[in-house]
Structure 1
């Protein structure tokens, strides 16, 4: 079996997915962010399956996972305030119980 390149590997796709999620959140593109969040589960599963037969400590994978983590942190900076604003709005409408 030939070595996987960064472009062929599931962890590279996971890093790109996380970066796309961060970009969608920053752009307030919530429909795209929701679609990307649904896709992240499959990307994580593919990475886990890859790790079952390959070295998870591969430097390229570790770098991609670190980039994915940084992108998720960036997305959270946009998603968490939006989530809080939505909860506040739903509480104001009486759709959620008061805190």
Structure 2
């Protein structure tokens, strides 16, 4: 079952759109521009980071800090950690 869940999450990351990122940023209190959302999508599609691999997550967070700013990247990391914990998925990460 965990393989299926992992593949669903990876697939969702590859298919995110700038509009979805802007929607989620507003929903979770992040302030980003359309250009930044497009850069994030471009990075995700070009790099296909594995969210279940610590090195890939670290690399993505550094790139997110470059695209936005370190404060936004830190808040995104905190949100990701909270979501993982709230769904009881720590064992996957």
TM-score, normalised with respect to structure 1: 0.30
**Greater relative contact order structure (CA < 8 Å, 6+ sep):** 1
TM-score, normalised with respect to structure 2: 0.31
Larger Rg: 1
